[in-house]
Amino acid sequence: MMTQQGHWGDLAAGNVAAYKAQVDNAIAYLLSTATTTTVSTRNDGANICPGGGSCTGVYWYGAGETTYTTGLIAPAIAEYATRFGGGAGAVATTTGPLAGMTWGQIAQGITNTFSAGQSSAINGNRDGGWRYFPGTGDSDSSTTQWAVISLIYNQTLGATTPQTVKDHLAVWLANAQAADGSACYQPGVGPCDQADTGGLLVALNFLGKGSSDPAVQKALNYLNNHWQEGQLGWNGNFGQPYAMWAEYKGLELTVGLGNNTAITNLLPGNCGNDRGADCNWWQDYNQWLVANQAGDGSFPGYYYWGNPLATSLVLPILSGTEIPQQTPEPGSLALLLAALAGSAAFARRRA
């Protein structure tokens, strides 16, 4: 685990404390602006609370785009709790709507909200996904990835995702994937593009699907075939920051940063002619980003995903951000097996 000094070791000691104070203030602000609710069942009557009954839900309203907002906040909460907040069992705050809750309870509350707000079979082919606000009965692939990202990061703090949520998510993913391997915005409704396909890979990994899974293979093949595309509005790859970040997350989780076999249709020039045969998909991204960075430090986007949002989406690519791998539920045989194989798996991802 990276320490505070590991993040800011190049700063003077006084600046380390100052930077840490700013991070503390930002997290305190997020905790103070959360909303709590009581949930119990999904709209099909399936109880989603650990142990049954009712349970606390946690979310951030975000001007009505709760799934996006909470999906962006949940990773920040999990990372802070693990690195600086004392871990899952420590009390996160003594004031505001989350007063007295531990980091683990907050993570479980976020998972509870998304679990209760998932669309179900009564919503037809929207079954298993999420929309801008959980519980609307509608779904789309772009929004669904942010619910899944939340569930992934919440698990790092011990939160459990009900099996029924995973089962219905699998239905959504199967319905949303087109014959060419791409993921569509909604089943049978385009666009079917790189951004949604990256999100599909993230969700498949969350369900425990590895690179040999047929749906994963189809998605990887689609991304490889369309890798060289530029920014095409909502679609495309290079120069479309939302798509690049979505593809990065899916590829990092599925094949790792050092893989040079999943994506072979790279941009001409071997990553700027400085890598030769060692050029791979991540280095291809890095080379393009460095070559296209503006003089003021920003990165290109387009009218919707413009700066500074565009820059915030591609910076994690350059930094080699690692998304948490799918975590077995506590007490399972899979958890024991994962623990035994953990060091080898980590080495493979970084190879």
Tens digit of each residue's pLDDT (9 = 90 or more) over 133-168: 999 999 999 999 999 999 999 999 999 999 999 999
The two tokens of residue 295 are 């003089």
Which of the residue ranges 8-22, 140-154, 328-342 has the most confident prediction, judged by mean pLDDT?
140-154
Q: Is the pLDDT of residue 201 over 80?
A: yes
Range from 174-178, 223-227, 287-291 carrying the lowest mean pLDDT: 287-291
Say how far apart CA 213 and CA 221 lie, in whole Å.
Answer: 12
Residue 207 pLDDT greater than 80, yes or no: yes
Q: How confident is the model at residue 203 (pLDDT cuts 50, 70, 90)?
A: very high
Confidence of residue 67 (pLDDT cuts 50, 70, 90): very high
Q: List the one residue out of 72, 112, 105 whose CA is nearest residue 87.
A: 105
Segment 322-337 mean pLDDT? 55
pTM, to two decimals: 0.88
Q: Is the pLDDT at 106 greater than 60, yes or no?
A: yes
The first and second tokens of residue 300, run together, are 């290109």
pLDDT interval class at 329 (50, 70, 90): very low
The pLDDT of residue 178 is: 98
pLDDT above 90 covers a percentage of the chain that reads 76
Comparison of pLDDT for 333 and 183, the residue scoring more: 183
Per-residue pLDDT band for 19 (boundaries 50, 70, 90) equals: confident
Work out the burial of residue 195: count CB atoms within 10 Å of its CB; fewer than 13 is exposed, 13-18 middle, 19 or more buried.
buried
pLDDT confidence tier of residue 11, bands split at 50, 70 and 90:
low
Q: pLDDT tens for residues 233-265?
A: 888 999 999 999 999 999 999 999 999 999 999
Q: What is the pLDDT of residue 325?
A: 85
Question: Does the pLDDT of residue 321 top 60, yes or no?
Answer: yes
Return the structure tokens found at 98.
């989350």
Q: Are 173 and 219 in contact (CB under 8 A)?
A: no
CA gyration radius for the chain?
Answer: 20
Query: Lowest-pLDDT range, 226-240, 283-297, 330-344?
Result: 330-344
Is the pLDDT reported for residue 64 higher than 70? yes
Task: Give the CA diameter of the chain.
Answer: 60
CA–CA gap between residue 339 and residue 335 (Å, rounded): 6
Q: Contact at 8 Å (CB) between 31 and 92?
A: yes
Work out the mean pLDDT of the chain and round it to a whole number: 88
pLDDT at residue number 330: 44
